[in-house]
A and B are shown apart, each in its own frame.
Chain A
Amino acid sequence: MVHGEYWTIKELFVYPNEYIYWSVQIVMYPFMTGLVAGAFVLSSLYHVFGIKQLKEMARFALVFSFALLFVAPMPIVLHLQYPLRGINVFMTPHFTSAIAAFGIVFSTYGAIVASELWFLYRKHFVEIALPLKEKQDKGLLEWLKFFVFCSLTLGVYDISEETLKKDEKAIRVLAAVGIPVACFLHGYAGFIFGSVKANALWMTPLMPVIFIMSAIVSGIALCMLTYIITMELRKWLSDRKKGTYPRLQSKEEIAGVEVSVIRMTARYLLMFLVLAITLELLDLIFRGYTAVKSWDVLRSVIYGKDFVDIFILQYTIGNLVPFILFLLPGLTIRRTVLGVCLVLFGVFMMRWNVVIGGQAFSLSFAGYMHYHLPIIPHDWETFKEGLGGALLIGLMPFPLFWVISRIFPVFNLKETH
């Protein structure tokens, strides 16, 4: 069977070679990159602009962004017909293509996040490595731990007051440089779509900006969600272990910090949400007002075939409802969880409506294509470009975050910055 034929249903006049070639993994790609960029911007709000209330969240967001970073290119790998040739993009980049910049942008961004993390956790590495170095009879696990942390110090054991101040400065610079690079990383994902002149729905210079705004929204939302989950776990643990470890923070202490951090972050979420919706509506109004040749078919898709996806699922459930939830006074944790889940869903639907919606009509402007997500896979292709593949990508950051947080602990760290 031809690639794409399995999940595409054609209606009216569609060219014979047209199928929905970019399926759910291409929806996941901007969604995941958006989360990376958003989480980083959130952490930079503290490091660069010194928004003190976000301090607790900043370190968390940075580590989470690092975990997400490894997942971001995975959807592309699952989507490629020749995943092993993906390296060609780095080896023989063809620079007139937006995708060719991926190698450069992605590695620059990765380097920035990694170095910022290193400066942030340098003291922590030294504090673990030094005592292990002196210890005489190390067990196997201790050897391993020693090896990992000793390598991570990169041979620098100086943690005097003066050097730590320098570290702090380096973090600030890296975070500041990181903001435009993070925006570029995601803006360029928007550019990949916005620059396709053949596609009437995608082609708009607003696309990169819309992508950046919704990226920050989704990144903040996911950080809030993961933060709440970890805090709740800590509360639960502190309840259980109270007897054995009296130095742990009490349940009430944790809850107090949690609510104040969440309320503060929610304000930034709202701000970016408003920006994102404004731009998206501007795009829609502009298309309707100028009504160029493609508008007839676009209108029938936007107001007809995809009405539920766009106006009910994305704008109402994904944007309007959480907007009201966050605006109502006395924000509680439970309400926040509901709100951020809806926001994440809304951003996902926005990506869906761009990627799948952009292929819902034929290049002939006289026919339509309907996408049916493969749910039960019957071969590798229907798995990786179906529900299974999408879920795999969606869940991957969480175990990764757990692994990474073994090395970069996000809580109960002795105060460094």
Chain B
Amino acid sequence: MINRRDFLKNAVKGAAGMALPLAAFEIVNPKKLFADKSEASKVRWVFLVDTYKCVGCGMCVKACKNENEIPYDANVTRTWVERYVMTKDGKTFADTPKGARDGFITSKIDLGLGKFQDIKKENIEKAFFVPKLCNQCENPPCVQVCPVGATYQMPDGVVMVDRSWCIGCGYCIMGCPYGVRFFHPIYHTAEKCNFCYHRITKGMKPACVEACPFGARQIGNIKDPNDPVTKIIRTERVGILKEEFGTKPQVYYLGLDREVK
């Protein structure tokens, strides 16, 4: 029978003996390994939306749905356009019927519950459109809250989802302050805009940028000082959405209004 003293002694010896060879091992962080081989990424994708140019035609939404295989009639979308109407009596109306997939074909504002509000032209103080998409945040809350690491950030800043690993808990959907995430109606995993990563990494532009007839949407590399988008972001007055959440969004807006939600 071993007594307590001996047991403790041997336990300490054993632990020390084990610790020595274990110290030779190191828990390898895949990110670090990646960084060792290649230098820090020379690309940081950013997006620029010029709201003055947007007319709410919805071509971007259509193109996105087709490009990224989001069922056309499903009421979810990776990108959408919002309409804001401020009246002379100080009221603000906003809507985005079907994410503006078909554009804004009526002047009636969709109030939900099947109700619509028609605003007379002479009552409108100002009105504009705001396209929305994933902000590819520098500090993405969706990546932080994913319990299995199925959503992750690429070295060039784009946040991706691994459909083969997502468990479908919906925590990332809850964590995103911008409401860009949803469950894919067919794959049943978390889904979001990734700036058409399959295109931009091959030198093409995202489908929505390509489809916009007015050049309201542009993509660029903020690490390249000669990039026209970088120049605009650096020299002009641009805004971002919901700064207060500390997510550091990387979609910049020209002509943002305080009423934009």
CA distance in complex: A366, B126 (Å): 18
Q: Does A286 reach chain B (CB closer than 8 Å)?
A: no
A97 and B77 within 8 A (CB): no
Give the residue name and chain of the B residue nearest to A89 (CB).
Answer: B147
Q: Is the interface of B mostly helix, strand, loop or mixed?
A: loop
Contact B183 A21 (CB under 8 A): yes
Say which residue of B74, B93, B174, B177 sits within 8 Å of A21 (CB atoms). B174
Of all chain B residues, which has the CB nearest A365? B261
Q: Mark B2-36, 1 if CB is under 8 A from A, else 0.
A: 00000000000000000000000000000000000
Q: Are A12 and B169 in contact (CB under 8 A)?
A: no
When each residue 71-114 of chain A gets 1 if its CB lies under 8 Å from chain B and 0 otherwise, what string results? 00000100111100110110011101111101000000000000
Instruction: Answer whether residue A242 sits at the interface, using C-beta atoms and an 8 A cutoff.
Output: no
CB pair A80–B76 under 8 Å, yes or no, is no
| Contact of B174 (CB < 8 Å), options: A89, A198, A362 | A198
* Contact yes or no, A94 B146, CB < 8 A: yes
Chain A residues, CB < 8 A from B69:
none
Tell me the minimal C-beta distance from B143 to chain A in angstroms.
8
- A99 in contact with B145 given A16-B77, A16-B80, A21-B173 (CB within 8 Å): yes
Within 8 A of B (CB), among A365-417: 365-367
Q: In the complex the two chains form, is B167's CB within 8 Å of A86's CB?
A: yes
Complex CA gap A10/B75 in Å reads 12
Q: Does A197 contact B (CB under 8 A)?
A: yes
In the complex formed, the residue of A with least CB distance to B178 is: A363
The answer on a CB contact under 8 Å between B147 and A102 is yes
Are B94 and A16 in contact, CB atoms less than 8 angstroms apart? no
Is residue B176 contacting chain A, with contact meaning CB distance below 8 A? yes
Interface residues on B, range: 35 or more
Which applies to chain A's interface (DSSP): helix, strand, loop or mixed? loop
| Residues in B neighbouring A196, C-beta threshold 8 A | 145, 174-175
B75 pairs with A16, CB closer than 8 A: yes
- Whether the Cβ atoms of B94 and A364 lie closer than 8 Å is yes
- B163, chain A: closest CB distance, angstroms: 10
Which residues of B, 160-184, contact A by the 8 Å Cβ criterion? 165-171, 173-183
CA distance A363 to B170 in the complex (A): 15
Say yes or no: B245 contacts A16, CB within 8 Å: no
Cross-chain contact A11 with B188 (CB below 8 angstroms): no
> With an 8 A cutoff between CB atoms, is B112 at the interface?
yes
CA distance A102 to B145 in the complex (A): 13
Q: Mark B216-245, 1 if CB is under 8 A from A, else 0.
A: 000000000000000000000000000011
Chain A residues close to B by CB (< 8 Å):
1-5, 9-19, 21-22, 76, 79-82, 85-86, 88-89, 92-94, 96-100, 102, 192, 195-199, 293, 362-367
Residues of B within 8 A of A (CB): 74-77, 80, 92-96, 98-99, 111-113, 132, 141, 143-150, 165-171, 173-183, 185, 188-189, 244-246, 261
Other A-B contacts than A85-B168, A99-B171, A366-B92, 16 sampled, CB-CB below 8 A, are A2-B74, A3-B185, A10-B112, A13-B112, A15-B96, A15-B179, A16-B75, A16-B77, A22-B174, A80-B167, A85-B148, A100-B148, A198-B245, A293-B244, A362-B179, A365-B261
- Give 10 pairs: A residue, B residue, CB < 8 Å, sorted on A: A11-B112, A13-B93, A15-B132, A17-B180, A17-B181, A82-B167, A92-B149, A99-B147, A197-B246, A363-B178
